Amino acid sequence: MGEKKDVWQGTLALMVLKTLQAMGPLHGYGIARRIEQTSGDLLIVNYGTLYPALLKLEQEGYISSEWGVSDNNRKAKYYKLTRAGRKQLNKEERDWEQTTAILARFLAPGEERS
Amino acid sequence: MRNLRAWFLRLGDAFRKQRRERDLSAEMESHLALHIEDNLRAGMSPEQARRQALIKLGGLEQTKESYRDRRSLPILESLLRDVRHGLRILRKSPGFTTVAILTLALGIGASTAIFSVVYGALLAPLPMPHPEQLVMVWLKMDGDRNVVSPGDFFDWKQQSAVFQNLVAWDEATFSLSVSDHPEALQTRIMTPGFFDMQGIPMQMGRDFAPEEAELGKNHVMIITHRLWQQRFGSDKNILGRQVRLNSELYTVVGVLAAGMPDRYEAPLFVPMALRPDQITHERHWMTVMGRLKPGVTLAQANADMDRVAKHIAGNYPSSNEGVGALVEPLKNDFTSRDTIRALWLLMGAVGFVLLIACVNVANLLLSRGTVRMKEAALRLSLGATRFRLFSQFLTESLVLALIGGVLGVALAGALLQVIVNLLPQFSVPTESDIRLNMPVLLFSLAAAIFAGVLCGSAPAWQISHGNLSGALKEGGRSASNAGRHGLRRGLVVIEFALALTLLAGAGLAIHSFWKLARIDLGFREDHILTFTLPTQFDRFPNNERMVAFYRQMLERVSSVPGVTSASLSTSAPVVGGSWWGMEFSIAGRPTDDSASKPGARFQMVSPGYFQTFGIRILKGRDFTDQDNAGAMRVAMVNETFVKEYLQNVDPLAQRIVVRQLDMSTMGPPVEWQIVGVFHDARNRRTRREDAPEIDVPFWQSPLPYVRISARTAVEPANLSNSIAAAVHSVDPDSALDHVITMDQALDEWLADDRFAMLLFAGFAGVALLLAAIGIYGVMSFVVAQRTHEIGLRMALGAGSKDVLVMVLGEGMLLALAGLFLGLGGTYFVGRTMNSILYGVAAMDPLAFSMVAAVLLAAALLACYLPARRATQVDPMVALRYE
């Protein structure tokens, strides 16, 4: 059973971790809305795709979940970052910066070509 | 790591489906509620709010589905689904399920039980630390392993470079007097360090110290945990306690921990202290065990010992010329080759039972194929892949086999109880621990999976790959699929071939046992009571005193009312005892080559020995009381001796030259005049040929290894008390050991062979039953399928006899084809079993034709029932049915 390693899966996980770091414990709907808002509604996405990603992160031990009550008295499942998740986030942030830096150099107006 | 963790969680979630499903639904519900609330706040109508929330989510079911895929392992889920489906299907036809499961349980149970014995006796590591370092060291004389002389042992110890330690021991019977009555106990006399070297733990106390191997310091003893409990009331303060042993005081210095040592034959241990004159290279009587240094291989150890043996041979050419040494792993050392072979053969036999069981279940599965064909066709047309169908049907048979396996393990537990009780003593090593442990259970699991795949794949393939359009068209009523019938007939043929092979093995075992039990033993075994006396090493200052002591004892035993004659000997037929393999020459004959002197079995007997055992004297005379120390040395030899060495001469005119045998040394050569020739009596395991034997009068050459035997006019067991009283009237400390009637001894003697025969016969019986059930099933099915045809035949004038012959003929054809195929198997079985058989050739026509007849009779009976049913077909009903 190979995992599908497309970019979106990876970035979504990173976004979830980052969101949880910024906002503290949050339910699935909240995470989805937050990602949508932060990306400036550019990433139009089915909220549904978030849940398998959350499950995967939980299975890997980066986040944990717990049933709680929302501001307006709704029962909801709250996700929060674990210590392993925090470490993973740091690592992925560094990796991402490295990747974007390399890509940026590639995509910058070509100097070698001229 | 993270992946592994996730994988395990997913694996776990596959089994917590319901709870996780509720959880998921609740989460989705809460998500939608939160979203709807937001939408309402944004001013949408309730309906629109719900719709938008669902759209944004991307569909409730779709989300759940992708979540589920992630949650557990889809392949596992489908497997679990198949298992549940399989269980449902199996529940729906309880008759089929019960028969199939019981059949498989029988096969797996029998295999598991025998494997437990094989594993415990042959495969399991010994329960000591680094068991691979433990070795037995033997002398190699004439290519055979032999016990060791003290001189060799001490030289080995000093000169070899590969051992951490070497210990030697001997066994004897000692009289232990804890209460009023002395008790004869098998005692191991051993050099210090035996337990420490092996790593056998002590309950309390210690192993013998090196200085306790010195005379005067050697009156110390170690006992097993069991003896401590049984004879010393688990005395916590036993260390330092003094106990009477062979009329002398010994101090207890150690008690072994409970467990393996409790299964030793000897429960009592004393140190071996040797006088300097006992340390020679000539008398071989020690058993030697060693622990190799870490990393030393057997080959290296043998090479080193070769070097040492050559060196010793250089120093002591007269005794050690051509004598080598042999290092063997301790493992299996006390299991005879015959037993090892018999165990593997039994393993093979149960393997056949398992195979036959699988074939039978495969046949059952195929017969259900008709019904399942329709289901398969339907599912296939609805889009299921053939692989999916195949794996589903295979899962079903695996479920069947695993349930059978669980039941089989339970059966094996019960069977093992029986087997362990039947298992003759000492036929497997005392170290072996025979029970259902982890490796055995793993074996059962493997056997179950093997059985499931074996019996399931052919039917599963047939169903999932058959011509299904036909199945749908016929509505699943009676698919007269010729291919499937061919397969079923083929399976019956295979089954009969397997059954014949197994039955042939059983036939050989039974025939061999029959011959063994009726063998001419060369003596009369009825009305004999025999027992041994403790070995009195240091009791007698000289031979005169020893002879007087035993003479008095023999007289007392002879005069017990009911005893018609009694004798004293170092050894006796069947029960054995002490005897010596001695080199000899015939006086007056040139000894052509000193290296290849002939050897014979040498033992001492009192007058009356031949009369007591009813051994016929063929020539000359018996020993008399006048053949004593003062008279001419005389000897009697057996028939084989005459045949081998005294052809064409008068044996009674010959003198044999043998070296004098004393307690610990070999004296000078002395001449023994042959005065009689006696009929061979069976001494050893009967499979071997008779050996030449020389008997000399005990009164002329006494040694304190004594067995007394009495022929009685009444039931011999009834006299054991009065005979014991007679012995105690001479010496109250002499305990009688191994008191047994010759009938009992013979019974024990045959125990190994009886055990193997019973198991073989039992498994063959099971195979016979399974084969009969198999052919019955197929023929019943054939008859049911051909009801229409049979009805037509009868309508056209065939009598019920014709129908009977037709069906029986078809069944017998299958059975005969199986038997023919099985002939190859019987040849193989005969060849393999040959070495454990007695007096039976590898291709034993009698045994083989008997088992073939039995198998055919079973087949005939099994076919008769469906055949009779065929004759009762009412043509009108059968034809209308179409």
Q: Which pLDDT tens digit goes with each residue over A8-29?
A: 656 788 888 988 988 889 998 8
d(CA B534, CA B741): 19
pLDDT at B334: 62
Number of domains in chain B: 4
Strand partners, B737: B532
Residue B755 confidence (pLDDT) above 90:
no
Contacts of A51 in chain B (CB under 8 A): 27-28, 63, 66-67
Contacts of A33 in chain B (CB under 8 A): 38
**A55 touching chain B per CB within 8 A:** yes
pLDDT at B467: 65
pLDDT at B153: 94
Residue B92 falls within a domain, yes or no?
Answer: no
Contacts of A77 in chain B (CB under 8 A): 23, 26-27, 30
Q: Are residues B141 and B290 in the same domain?
A: yes
Decide: helix, strand or coil at residue B602.
strand
Q: Are residues B730 and B786 in the same domain?
A: no
Residue A90 falls within a domain, yes or no?
Answer: yes
Residue A27 falls within a domain, yes or no?
Answer: yes
pLDDT at B476: 41
Residue B94 falls within a domain, yes or no?
Answer: no
Residue B498 falls within a domain, yes or no?
Answer: yes
d(CA A52, CA B71): 8
Asked if B432 and B126 touch (Cβ cutoff 8 Å), the reply is no
Which domain covers residue A21, as residue numbers?
Answer: 7-106
Q: Are residues B628 and B727 in the same domain?
A: yes
Residue B84 pLDDT level (bands cut at 50, 70, 90):
confident
pLDDT at A1: 34
Return phi, psi of residue B176, to 5°.
Answer: -100, 125
Across chain B, what does the average pLDDT equal?
A: 85
CATH number at residue A47: 1.10.10.10
- Mutate which of A44, A51, A75, A77 to test chain B, going by most B C-beta atoms within 10 A? A51
Number of domains in chain A: 1
Asked if B57 and B32 touch (Cβ cutoff 8 Å), the reply is yes
Residue B98 falls within a domain, yes or no?
Answer: no
Which domain covers residue B494, as residue numbers?
Answer: 337-518+751-880
CA distance to partner chain B, nearest, from residue A98 (Å): 23
Predicted ipTM of the assembly: 0.83
d(CA B717, CA B245): 27
Asked if B693 and B683 touch (Cβ cutoff 8 Å), the reply is yes
Of B14-23, B601-610, B714-723, B854-863, where does mean pLDDT reach its minimum?
B14-23
pLDDT at B478: 46
Percent helix, strand and coil across chain A, each to the nearest 5:
60, 15, 30
CA distance to partner chain A, nearest, from residue B66 (Å): 7
d(CA A18, CA A63): 11
Note the pLDDT tens digit of each residue in B523-550: 898 999 999 888 877 788 888 899 999 9
Q: Among partner residues A47, A56, A61, which is closest to B57 by beta-carbon distance?
A: A47
Contacts of B37 in chain A (CB under 8 A): 72, 74
d(CA B99, CA B90): 11
Q: Are residues B293 and B364 in the same domain?
A: no
Is B34 close to A70, i.e. CB distance below 8 A?
yes
Decide: helix, strand or coil at residue B609.
helix
Q: Are residues B325 and B341 in the same domain?
A: no
pLDDT at B830: 86
Residue A71 falls within a domain, yes or no?
Answer: yes
Contact partners, residue B94, CB within 8 Å, separation at least 6:
none
Residue A67 falls within a domain, yes or no?
Answer: yes
Q: Are residues B551 and B636 in the same domain?
A: yes
Q: Among partner residues A46, A55, A61, which is closest to B67 by beta-carbon distance?
A: A55
Is B58 close to A49, i.e. CB distance below 8 A?
yes
Mean pLDDT of B98-102: 89
pLDDT cut 90: percent of chain B above it: 32
Give start and end residues of each alpha helix (H) in B369-437: 369-381, 386-422
Q: Are residues B716 and B796 in the same domain?
A: no
Q: Are residues B293 and B367 in the same domain?
A: no
Residue A112 falls within a domain, yes or no?
Answer: no
Mean pLDDT of B409-436: 78
pLDDT at B461: 80
Q: Among partner residues A1, A27, A30, which is closest to B73 by beta-carbon distance?
A: A1
Contact partners, residue B167, CB within 8 Å, separation at least 6:
B190, B191, B192, B193, B194, B197, B288, B289, B290
Asked if A51 and A31 touch (Cβ cutoff 8 Å), the reply is no
CA distance to partner chain A, nearest, from residue B2 (Å): 5
**A8 touching chain B per CB within 8 A:** no
Mean pLDDT of B660-680: 86
CA distance to partner chain A, nearest, from residue B62 (Å): 8
Q: Among partner residues A55, A60, A70, which is closest to B5 by beta-carbon distance?
A: A60
Residue A2 confidence (pLDDT) above 50:
no
Residue B426 pLDDT level (bands cut at 50, 70, 90):
low
Each residue of B797-831: b (16+ CB within 10 Å) or e? Answer: ebeeeebbebbbebbbebbebbbebbbebbeebbe
Residue B176 falls within a domain, yes or no?
Answer: yes
Residue A1 falls within a domain, yes or no?
Answer: no
Is B58 close to A61, i.e. CB distance below 8 A?
no
Most confidently modeled of A33-47, B252-266, B714-728? B714-728
d(CA B147, CA B38): 95
Residue B626 falls within a domain, yes or no?
Answer: yes
Sole residue written with tokens 């072994």: B256
Note the pLDDT tens digit of each residue in B615-655: 999 999 999 999 988 899 999 999 999 998 898 899 999 99
- Mutate which of B68, B70, B72, B78 to test chain A, going by most A C-beta atoms within 10 A? B70
Domain boundary among the residues B277, B306, B329 is at B329
Note the pLDDT tens digit of each residue in B797-840: 888 888 888 888 888 898 899 999 998 888 888 888 887 788 88
| A95-114 residues touching B, CB cutoff 8 A | none
Q: Among partner residues B6, B37, B58, which is closest to A60 by beta-carbon distance?
A: B6
Q: Are residues B757 and B723 in the same domain?
A: no
Note the pLDDT tens digit of each residue in B380-403: 777 777 888 888 888 888 999 999
Decide: helix, strand or coil at residue B614.
coil
Domain boundary among the residues B693, B708, B735 is at B735
pLDDT at B748: 82
Contacts of B21 in chain A (CB under 8 A): none
Residue A2 falls within a domain, yes or no?
Answer: no
Q: Are residues B373 and B255 in the same domain?
A: no
Mean pLDDT of B676-692: 76
Residue A79 falls within a domain, yes or no?
Answer: yes
Q: Are residues B573 and B595 in the same domain?
A: yes
- Other Cβ atoms less than 10 A from the Cβ of B835: the count is 13
Burial of B272 (0-12, 13-18, 19+ CB in 10 A): buried
pLDDT at B842: 78
Helix (DSSP H) and strand (DSSP E) numbers for chain A: 4, 3
- Kindly identify which residue of chain A lies nearest to residue B37, measuring between CA atoms: A72
Is B35 close to A30, i.e. CB distance below 8 A?
no
Q: Are residues B553 and B510 in the same domain?
A: no
pLDDT at B118: 87
Mean pLDDT of B678-703: 81
Is A51 close to B63, i.e. CB distance below 8 A?
yes
- Mutate which of B28, B67, B69 to test chain A, going by most A C-beta atoms within 10 A? B67
Return phi, psi of residue B205, to 5°.
Answer: 80, -155
Domain boundary among the residues B329, B347, B375 is at B329
Mean pLDDT of B72-98: 80
Return phi, psi of residue B412, to 5°.
Answer: -60, -40
Return phi, psi of residue B226, to 5°.
Answer: -65, -45
CA angle B139, B144, B149 (to 5 degrees): 25
d(CA B460, CA B571): 65
Return phi, psi of residue B325, to 5°.
Answer: -135, 155
Is B62 close to A48, i.e. CB distance below 8 A?
yes
The larger pLDDT score, comparing residue A20 to residue B473, is at A20
Contacts of A46 in chain B (CB under 8 A): 56-59, 63
Residue B741 falls within a domain, yes or no?
Answer: no
CA distance to partner chain B, nearest, from residue A77 (Å): 6
pLDDT at B616: 93
Q: Crossing angle, helix B438-465 and helix B482-517, to 10 degrees?
A: 150
Note the pLDDT tens digit of each residue in B502-527: 899 899 989 988 888 888 888 898 99
Strand partners, B636: B676, B695
pLDDT at B749: 81
Of B356-360, B566-570, B829-833, where does mean pLDDT reach its minimum?
B829-833
pLDDT at A110: 59
Q: Among partner residues A27, A48, A52, which is closest to B57 by beta-carbon distance?
A: A48
Residue B556 falls within a domain, yes or no?
Answer: yes
